Amino acid sequence: MSSNSAVVVGGGIGGLAAAIGLRLAGWEVTVVERAAVLDDAGAGISLAANGMRALAALGVGEAVEAAARRQYTGGTRTPDGRRLAMMDGEALERELGAPIVGIPRAALHRILRQALPTESLVIGAEVTDVDTTDPSRVRVRHGDSTLDAALVVAADGINSRLRRRLFPAHPGPAYSGSTVLRAITERPVDGLTADFELTWGHGAEFGHIAFPDGTAEWHAVLNAPAGVRYRDPLTEVRRRFARWHEPIPALLAATRPEAVLHHDVNVLATPLPSFVAGRIALLGDAAHAMTPHLGQGACQALEDAVTLAAALAGAPSVEGALARYDAARRPRSQTVARDARRAGRMGQQLANPLAVGLRNAAIRLTPPGVMVRTVLKHADWAPPRIAPRAA
């Protein structure tokens, strides 16, 4: 085992980004992913300026921009179509120095995957345990195999096995109260003028993210008991949102029933006391799974990846670098997670008609742009430089 060998557990957006960053920092990296096919099963994703800056620091910013659509127009509305807040994405891009974009998750995942050598990816391999008894290395077990590494990155998502193993007293994920149905349309949608839009009803939100080819992802987020499932999810969404403004019916009409994904939104409601245990760093949803109400989960995972790589680049000790990573990332990502829950409570989850009316009136009285800036306040982030280790 060399002193710069790293194993990344999990090949999602966070794990792949961490692997790219660590390679830039001079590490030899192996990504171990349990899925037989390395892909991302989600629909679409919105990347704010902080996420785009992290991707640029990883050297894949241009490829992502080329596959994405800039979110210049849109904002929030009420179900009858009345405007609550407008978004001026061009002005935000000028202000933040990077665009907000919408991209199919599969396209983002493919770009990250292609930035890594095939031989660094071990797929169809579920990590079952880590042995941390020797302080100079971590032994990672998958199937009948083991891998020794000077550093392990636990990027194994919200139900992280490594988090449970390293922080057995932590209660783990909790249901947020919202369930989400989403899909990508099978064809371009007529009349889709806004790049990005959110519509708030009572305890329900409908949003879309448009892609360069005129298709779009839509998501319907509903207050619901944990575990609720519908026999025919698309019919249920069409029923619930039948009277909502265009292009919502058009988006649903352009969707195949089998394209609809349905997940409960779980979060790490209890913040972790550390993102580090010995030579293991937690990253992405494994460290700080948050509600999607600010569109920041993946952006925070990308920030983690760049910050971790920068901390380790040229560092004399892994332990010291991981302590700096924890200090830089834990307060920020946990603040974003807390704000995302608040945004959900004041936005999608608000169900009381009086409270909804008051909220909408308050938003209409807010000067243009202020509301969008509040939602995007975490987008203003500059990546640290990843300086490669001297040979």
Ligand X SMILES: Cc1cc2nc3c(=O)[nH]c(=O)nc-3n(C[C@H](O)[C@H](O)[C@H](O)COP(=O)(O)OP(=O)(O)OC[C@H]3O[C@@H](n4cnc5c(N)ncnc54)[C@H](O)[C@@H]3O)c2cc1C
74 SS3 class: strand
Q: Which two tokens stand for residue 322?
A: 């991981």
Of 279 and 293, CB closest to ligand X:
293
CB of 30 to ligand X, least distance (A): 11
Of 35 and 314, CB closest to ligand X:
35
Of 45 and 84, CB closest to ligand X:
45
CB of 48 to ligand X, least distance (A): 7
Cβ 18 vs Cβ 287: under 8 Å: no
Q: Can you say whether the dihedral through the CA atoms of 173, 263, 41, 92 is positive or negative?
A: negative
Half-sphere exposure of 169 (CA within 13 A, CB side): 4
CB of 216 to ligand X, least distance (A): 13
Longest dimension (CA), the chain: 64
Helices first, then strands: H and E counts in the chain: 13, 19
Half-sphere exposure of 11 (CA within 13 A, CB side): 31
CB of 31 to ligand X, least distance (A): 9
CB of 219 to ligand X, least distance (A): 6
CB of 35 to ligand X, least distance (A): 5
Cβ 14 vs Cβ 285: under 8 Å: yes
CB of 300 to ligand X, least distance (A): 7
Of 360 and 373, CB closest to ligand X:
373
Question: What does the alpha-carbon distance between residue 276 and residue 285 come to, in Å, rounded to a whole number?
Answer: 14
The footprint of ligand X (CB under 6 A) covers: 9-15, 32-35, 42, 45-46, 51, 126-127, 155-157, 161, 180, 182, 219, 263, 265, 284-286, 292, 295-299, 301
Of 201 and 207, CB closest to ligand X:
207
Q: Write down the residue that tokens 């061009």 correspond to.
A: 90
CB of 1 to ligand X, least distance (A): 20
51 SS3 class: helix
Question: What does the alpha-carbon distance between residue 152 and residue 137 come to, in Å, rounded to a whole number?
Answer: 9
Of 77 and 208, CB closest to ligand X:
208
The closest of 39, 47, 5, 1 to 22, measured between CA atoms, is: 5
Of 361 and 382, CB closest to ligand X:
382
Torsion of CA 380, 302, 382, 290, to 10 degrees: 30
86: Cβ–Cβ under 8 A, 6 or more apart, which residues? 75, 368, 369, 372
φ, ψ dihedrals at 316, nearest 5° = -70, -25
CB of 96 to ligand X, least distance (A): 15
Of 160 and 247, CB closest to ligand X:
160
Question: What does the alpha-carbon distance between residue 365 and residue 376 come to, in Å, rounded to a whole number?
Answer: 19
CB of 94 to ligand X, least distance (A): 22
Question: What does the alpha-carbon distance between residue 201 and residue 76 come to, in Å, rounded to a whole number?
Answer: 11
| Rg, Å, the chain Cα set | 21
Question: What does the alpha-carbon distance between residue 96 and residue 264 come to, in Å, rounded to a whole number?
Answer: 32
